[in-house]
């Protein structure tokens, strides 16, 4: 399944199913093929995603004495995955427009 987040106030944001499911779970929602982010909930959604990013970055940070090879990454970070959605939510909140996904 793909998540295609849509709104009148911003361009679409598309996430692959597992990544969209992860975002839904972070927000305390069950993954679903259809849904809506209401304008009044958007500040809380942004705060929750930012807290999750902070926790993810703390968990990814190698210990100071780690001898890992430079440039050896471990994939795409949560920050990279949710940034487009967070930006969309900010724009939609400012424009007072909902975000929907699904058919």
Q: What is the pLDDT of residues 45-86, one digit of tens each?
A: 999 999 999 999 998 877 666 555 555 556 889 999 999 999
Strands 99-101 and 2-6: antiparallel
- What is the pLDDT, as a whole number, of residue 73? 58
DSSP string, 36-80: EE-GGGHHHHHHHHHHHHHHHHHHHPPPTT--PPTT---S--HHH
- What is the pLDDT, as a whole number, of residue 49? 97
- What is the pLDDT, as a whole number, of residue 85? 97
**What are the extents of the domains in the chain?**
2-58+77-101
Query: Tokens 């259809």 identify what position?
Result: 34
Determine the angle formed by the axes of helices 17-26 and 42-60, rounding to 10 degrees.
110
Report pTM: 0.85
């Amino acid at each position: 399944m793909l998540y295609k987040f849509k709104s009148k106030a911003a361009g679409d944001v598309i996430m692959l199913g597992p990544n969209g499911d992860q975002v839904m779970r972070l927000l305390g929602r069950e993954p679903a093929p259809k849904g809506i982010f209401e304008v009044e909930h958007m500040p809380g959604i942004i705060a929750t995603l930012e807290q999750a990013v902070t926790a993810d970055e703390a968990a990814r940070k190698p210990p100071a004495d780690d001898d890992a090879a430079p440039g050896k990454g471990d994939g795409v970070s949560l920050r990279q995955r949710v940034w487009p959605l967070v930006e969309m939510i900010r724009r939609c909140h400012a424009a007072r427009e909902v975000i929907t996904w699904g058919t």
